Amino acid sequence: MKAPQRPMSPFMIGPYYKPQMTSLMSITHRASGVFLSIVGTPLLLWFLIAVASGPESYDAMLTCVGGWLGTLAVVTSILCLSFHLFNGIRHLVWDTGRALDIKTAYTAGWLVLIGTVVLTAVLLGVML
């Protein structure tokens, strides 16, 4: 027997549901967290190991990080860190039961995006 074609519940992301800042920033929070977990923290560890292992390892690490793949990893990590930091504060405020109305959620969302751009620009300006 063929299964009846029942309507599916609307997914937050996809053609079924209008993209909204709240849902997009929610999934970006997860994505940036995953990126920081599997690329960002290893970069930090790599830095610590390179410093502890002596000048040759340190210079080798800097050469690697200076390449296109290393630069991409560092720039994306800084971007993810800035976003996850500010959007994380937004989530912590929500967890206290405050700022949950749509207008404030959007205002805070824009503040997060502005903060992300500023902190990313400042850190990359210092590092590059």
Binding site for another protein (CB under 8 A): 30, 33-34, 36-37, 40-42, 44-45, 48-49, 51-55, 58-59, 81, 85, 88-89, 91-92, 95, 119, 123, 126-127
Q: What angle do CA 24, 25, 28 make, to 5 degrees?
A: 90
Closest approach of another protein to the CB of residue 57, in Å = 9
Closest approach of another protein to the CB of residue 117, in Å = 15
Cα separation, 92 vs 94, in Å, equals 5
CB closer to another protein out of 20 and 57: 57
Map residue 67 onto helix, strand or coil. Answer: coil
Cα separation, 9 vs 106, in Å, equals 25
What does R_g of the chain's alpha carbons equal in angstroms? Answer: 20
CB closer to another protein out of 94 and 106: 94
CB closer to another protein out of 33 and 106: 33
Closest approach of another protein to the CB of residue 96, in Å = 10
Nearest by Cα to 76 from 116, 123, 40, 122: 40
CB closer to another protein out of 95 and 101: 95
